[in-house]
Amino acid sequence: MKQESVPNKSYSVPNLERALEIVELLSVNGNGLTLSEIQECLSFPKSSVFRIVTTLVERGYLLKNQIEGKFTLSKKFLRIGLSTVDESSVVESSLPYMRSLRDTLNETILLGTIIEKQGVVLEQIVGNHGFTFMLTVGKQFYLHSSAPGKAMIAFLPDEEKKDIVNTIEFQKFNERTITSKQSFLEELDIVKNKGYALDRAEELEGVHCVGAPIFNQYGYPIAAVWLTAPSARIRLDDMDEIGGKIYSYAMEISKLYGYDI
């Protein structure tokens, strides 16, 4: 039986092709483009560009900067990308390093990512102590008060970072919680400089966390690995030393994805 040939151009869907070209164009313009700039680059009819971009925004695939009127790709593409990289691949790649880190520090080690502006736990390796912390895989966590949230946001592209920070409500849990955008941005600068983030019992009393980002080959933070432990066992004075160790392990995992330090 003769094999069917690949469909030719007559089977194409013009608006779908245009949507894909718009996505590809924005993927190489990280600072975003306006409707006019998209139309000028691709020479599509303005009405077509408007309808396609509006639909992509409504479906959560694009973000619009209301001040500059520029459109950028959303984190939803990362979620789709993680299904091909995929989330299970990130977990499988990280597990040996998480176990080694747990055996080195004896505390619970977790892996998580950001999906649609919300932190999500992907995996955990429970600590060796009789009393230790456990989280449910799939549990969501706050970004402004968590070590993994800070670790990932600090290394996002500026526009995506700005977009996420602008959506954070900065809920106050105690006197240590960061409750303003400016203070949070200052904290992110510190995180980016050190390479790891700290949670100094900013949400839960008596719980300290230290985390570092995992990068793909483009230096994009696809996940974070972190330690969580009682503050009685992980004191404030210990956190920077532990941060350095977690950063080293995170960089080893990142190398698996082609990241070059």
CA torsion through residues 66, 70, 75, 77, sign: positive
For 12-33, the pLDDT digits (tens) are 688 899 999 999 999 888 789 9
Closest by CA position to 200, among listed 191, 129, 169, 164: 191
**Domains of the chain with CATH codes:** 12-74 (1.10.10.10), 85-256 (3.30.450.40)
At 137 the pLDDT is 82
Mean pLDDT value of segment 129-156:
90
Pairing, β 70-73 against β 140-141: unpaired
Bigger pLDDT: 133 or 55?
A: 55
Average pLDDT, the chain: 89
At 75 the pLDDT is 67
At 171 the pLDDT is 96
- For residues 112 and 223, the answer to whether their CB atoms sit within 8 Å is yes
Tell me the residue type at 83: S
- Which residues have CB under 8 Å from 133's CB, separation 6+? 108, 127, 207, 228, 229, 230
